[in-house]
Chains A and B, each alone.
Chain A
Amino acid sequence: MDINPIKIFHPSAAKRNRMWLRLLSLGLGLLCWQVTSVFSGVEVFILPSPLAVWSRFMVAVQDGSLFRDIGVTLSEVVLGLIVGVTLATILGYSVAKSRALEQVLSPYLVASQAIPVVAIAPLLVLWFGYGMFSKVLICALIVFFPVLINTIVGIRAVPRAFYDLMDSLRATRKQILTKVEIPAALPIFLGGLRIGATLSVIGAVVGELIGSKYGLGNLINRARVGYDMPMVYVAVFMLIFLALGLYGIVARAEKKLLRWQEEK
Chain B
Amino acid sequence: MTTEPILTVKNLSVVFPDSNGGLHALDDISFEVCPRDFICFLGPSGSGKTTLLRILASLLSPTTGEIKFINHQHPQIGMVFQQSNLMPWRSVMDNIKLPLELEGADEVNARIKAQEMIDLVGLNGFEDSWPRDLSGGMAQRVAIARALIHDPDLLLLDEPFGSLDAITRERMWMELSRIWQARQKTVIMVTHSINESLFLADKVLVLTQRPGKIKLDLQVDLPRPRKDDIRYTPHFGKLARKLREAIE
Alpha-carbon separation in the docked complex, A166 to B134 (Å): 22
CB of A164 closer than 8 Å to a CB of B: yes
Q: In the complex, are the beta carbons of B81 and A2 less than 8 A apart?
A: no
CB distance from A76 to the nearest CB of B (A): 34
* A-binding residues in B (CB < 8 A): 54, 57-59, 74, 77, 79, 81, 83, 85, 87-90, 98-99, 101-102, 129-135, 137-138, 150, 156
Most buried by B among A2, A165, A261: A165
Q: In the complex, are the beta carbons of B135 and A165 less than 8 A apart?
A: no
**Chain A residue nearest to B57 in the complex (CB):** A168
Q: In the complex, are the beta carbons of A161 and B102 less than 8 A apart?
A: no
Which residues of B lie under 8 Å from residue A169 when comparing CB positions?
Answer: 77, 98-99, 102, 150
Q: In the complex, are the beta carbons of A260 and B98 less than 8 A apart?
A: no
A158-172: which have CB < 8 Å to B?
Answer: 161-162, 164-171
Q: In the complex, are the beta carbons of B102 and A180 less than 8 A apart?
A: no
Q: In the complex, are the beta carbons of B130 and A260 less than 8 A apart?
A: yes
Which residues of A lie under 8 Å from residue B131 when comparing CB positions?
Answer: 260
**Chain A residue nearest to B168 in the complex (CB):** A2
Q: In the complex, are the beta carbons of A260 and B132 less than 8 A apart?
A: yes
Q: List 18 A-B contacts (CB under 8 A).
A: A2-B135, A2-B137, A4-B129, A165-B81, A168-B59, A168-B77, A169-B77, A169-B98, A169-B102, A170-B74, A170-B77, A170-B102, A175-B102, A179-B102, A260-B88, A260-B89, A261-B88, A261-B132
CB distance from B145 to the nearest CB of A (A): 14
Q: In the complex, are the beta carbons of A4 and B133 less than 8 A apart?
A: yes
Encode A164-198 as 1/0 by CB contact (under 8 A) with B.
Answer: 11111111000100011001101000000000000
**Chain A residue nearest to B77 in the complex (CB):** A168
Encode A1-26 as 1/0 by CB contact (under 8 A) with B.
Answer: 01011000000000000000000000
Alpha-carbon separation in the docked complex, A184 to B87 (Å): 8
What 8 additional pairs, Cβ within 8 angstroms, besides A164-B81, A184-B89, A186-B89? A161-B81, A164-B59, A168-B156, A169-B99, A170-B74, A170-B77, A260-B132, A262-B132
Q: In the complex, are the beta carbons of A179 and B135 less than 8 A apart?
A: no
Q: In the complex, are the beta carbons of B98 and A179 less than 8 A apart?
A: yes
Q: In the complex, are the beta carbons of B81 and A167 less than 8 A apart?
A: no
Q: In the complex, are the beta carbons of A171 and B102 less than 8 A apart?
A: yes
Beyond A165-B81, A168-B59, A260-B89, is A5–B102 a contact (Cβ under 8 Å)?
no
Inter-chain contact total with CB atoms closer than 8 Å: 60
Most buried by B among A166, A179, A184: A179
Alpha-carbon separation in the docked complex, A147 to B130 (Å): 28
Which residues of B lie under 8 Å from residue A260 when comparing CB positions?
Answer: 88-90, 130-132
Most buried by A among B59, B87, B133: B87
Alpha-carbon separation in the docked complex, A184 to B129 (Å): 18
CB distance from A259 to the nearest CB of B (A): 8
Alpha-carbon separation in the docked complex, A23 to B74 (Å): 63
CB distance from B124 to the nearest CB of A (A): 11
Q: In the complex, are the beta carbons of B85 and A165 less than 8 A apart?
A: yes
Alpha-carbon separation in the docked complex, A67 to B236 (Å): 84
Q: In the complex, are the beta carbons of B101 and A179 less than 8 A apart?
A: yes
Which residues of B lie under 8 Å from residue A261 when comparing CB positions?
Answer: 88, 132
A231-264: which have CB < 8 Å to B?
Answer: 258, 260-262
User: Which 3 residue pairs of A and B lie closest in terms of their CB atoms, listed nearest first?
Assistant: A168-B79, A183-B89, A168-B57
CB distance from B91 to the nearest CB of A (A): 8
Most buried by B among A169, A180, A183, A260: A169
Which residues of B lie under 8 Å from residue A180 when comparing CB positions?
Answer: 87
Which residues of B lie under 8 Å from residue A258 when comparing CB positions?
Answer: 89
CB distance from B126 to the nearest CB of A (A): 9
Alpha-carbon separation in the docked complex, A180 to B88 (Å): 10
**Chain A residue nearest to B150 in the complex (CB):** A169
**Chain B residue nearest to A5 in the complex (CB):** B133
Alpha-carbon separation in the docked complex, A179 to B95 (Å): 11
CB distance from B101 to the nearest CB of A (A): 7
CB distance from B162 to the nearest CB of A (A): 14
**Chain B residue nearest to A165 in the complex (CB):** B85
